[in-house]
Amino acid sequence: MNVLSEVVDEELHIKGETNFPDETSLLVKLLNHENNETEITTTVSEGTFEVEPIPIQQLKSGEQTYHITLAEEQPDSVEKIIGEKGKQLEGELIDEDKNFFVAFTVDIPEQKAKLSEAEVQQKRTKPTHTSGTTDKIPVTLVQTIDGDTIKVIYDGQEHNVRYLLIDTPETNHPRFGKQPFGEEAKERNRQLVNGGDLYLEFDVGERFDKYGRLLAYVYAGDTLVQEQLLKEGLARVAYVYPPNTRHLDRFEKAQQSAKDKKIGIWSLENYVSDNGFNRTDHEGADTLTPDKKMNQSPKTNSSNGEVYYKNCTEARKAGAAPLYKGEPGYAKHLDRDGDGIACE
């Protein structure tokens, strides 16, 4: 078994390859921030498995050793191959008691002092001294993370800043990998934020997202960075959540200009959708457009005919992800953060 684990955008991603049969149920055992062991179940599909991303705020920080074992109960089709509780298994990953066991180490970054739920809510809803205004707060750049995220020193502390109202392709995502124009967007973002004094402008809504990132408009000198990325075809208008919509009209005009010119992300047919960026032939895979997604054959529960996905890996392989509440196949066990969007 090969296991890959890494922290991306303050989330722990775990995936791997195995020769266990499809539908094998695996348990990933880890320590939460209260030093209690937590178990997460994942299922093998076509020789791979993947755990839904885990916010590192929920985990104990520092170097941690996590374990993967077999779940107590397995489907009959799996037990026929590996035996009851895996007793027919052999190899270096099987201990003397005939139990399957894999250990791997992850370095979880140190977290700031944990806030109570009430404090988190207060922090998210507390207006800034610029809320409702167009005042700009000077900040110091620490790092360009990707095309739509930077790290700055704001109010004496380091914060990740997620750009309001735009989305750029991924550069190193465990699930999506490197998407077309992801590196170009990151590099152009780096050039822009290093091109003048850096400022943040907040809108009238919440200033922090659920991951603790600041939500802001970013200026380098007089240049509104989001608008420039949209003009150059390196971003799309996305994540429009009122009342944080101050510059929406301005951004949509910039996006339309890039679409008309067919530059950047708009130069690839069917690459941009309302839900993000589709896989393209440039990535060595068939383009998965919304129309193709609708034509995928969903997995159904033979007892009642309803669409059912055991996990997000299964939903993605069917071309159904992301799933929105009310759509066929949406289920609470696929929506870890309860925001109505499963398998994001």
Tell me if 182 sits within 8 A of 144, measured CB to CB: no
Strand-strand pairing, 157-163 and 214-220: parallel
Task: Tell me which of 50, 52, 162, 279 is the catalytic residue.
Answer: 162
| Residue given tokens 């078994």 in the structure block | 1
Tell me if 137 sits within 8 A of 154, measured CB to CB: yes
Q: Out of 2-11, 249-258, 266-275, 278-287, which region has the weakest mean confidence (pLDDT)? A: 278-287
pLDDT of residue 233: 96
Q: Among 341, 314, 310, which residue's Cα sits nearest to residue 327?
A: 341
Answer yes or no: is pLDDT of 293 > 50: no
Residue 208 DSSP SS3: strand
Question: For 291, left (φ over 0), alpha (ψ -120 to 50), or beta?
Answer: alpha
Q: Which stretches does DSSP call E strand in 98-242? A: 101-108, 137-138, 140-146, 149-154, 157-163, 166-167, 198-201, 214-220, 223-224, 236-237
Catalytic site residue 170?
A: yes
Q: What is the gyration radius of the CA atoms in the chain, in angstroms?
A: 22
Catalytic site residue 250?
A: no
pLDDT of residue 8: 82
Report CA-CA distances (Å) from 223 to 153, 183, 245.
20, 21, 18
Q: 3-state SS of 234-274? A: CCEECCCCCCCCCCHHHHHHHHHHHHHHCCHHHHCCCCEEC
Using a pLDDT cut of 90, give the percent of the chain over it: 32
pLDDT of residue 133: 58
How far apart CA 34 and CA 32 sit, in angstroms, is 5
Answer yes or no: is pLDDT of 313 > 70: yes
Most confident of 66-70, 101-105, 108-112, 147-151: 147-151
Check residues 273 and 193 and name the one with the higher pLDDT: 193
Q: pLDDT band at 226, cuts 50/70/90?
A: very high
Check residues 333 and 98 and name the one with the higher pLDDT: 333
Using a pLDDT cut of 70, give the percent of the chain over it: 77
Report CA-CA distances (Å) from 22 to 49, 202, 314.
10, 48, 11
Q: Among 151, 143, 152, 136, which residue's Cα sits nearest to residue 221?
A: 136
User: Does 127 sit behind a cis peptide bond, omega within 30 degrees of 0 on the bond before it?
Assistant: no
Mean pLDDT calculated for residue range 158-164: 94
Q: Out of 116-130, 181-195, 324-338, which region has the weakest mean confidence (pLDDT)? A: 116-130
Tell me if 343 sits within 8 A of 312, measured CB to CB: yes
Facing residues of 137 across strands?
A: 200
Check residues 186 and 177 and name the one with the higher pLDDT: 186
How far apart CA 189 and CA 174 sit, in angstroms, is 21
pTM: 0.51
pLDDT of residue 118: 54
Task: Tell me which of 188, 207, 213, 236 is the catalytic residue.
Answer: 213
Catalytic site residue 183?
A: no
Can you list the domains of the chain with their CATH numbers? 2-108 (2.60.40), 136-277 (2.40.50.90), 312-342 (no CATH)
Answer yes or no: is pLDDT of 14 > 80: yes
Residue 45 DSSP SS3: strand
Q: pLDDT band at 73, cuts 50/70/90?
A: confident
Task: Tell me which of 50, 170, 227, 314 is the catalytic residue.
Answer: 170
User: What is the chain's mean pLDDT, rounded?
Assistant: 79
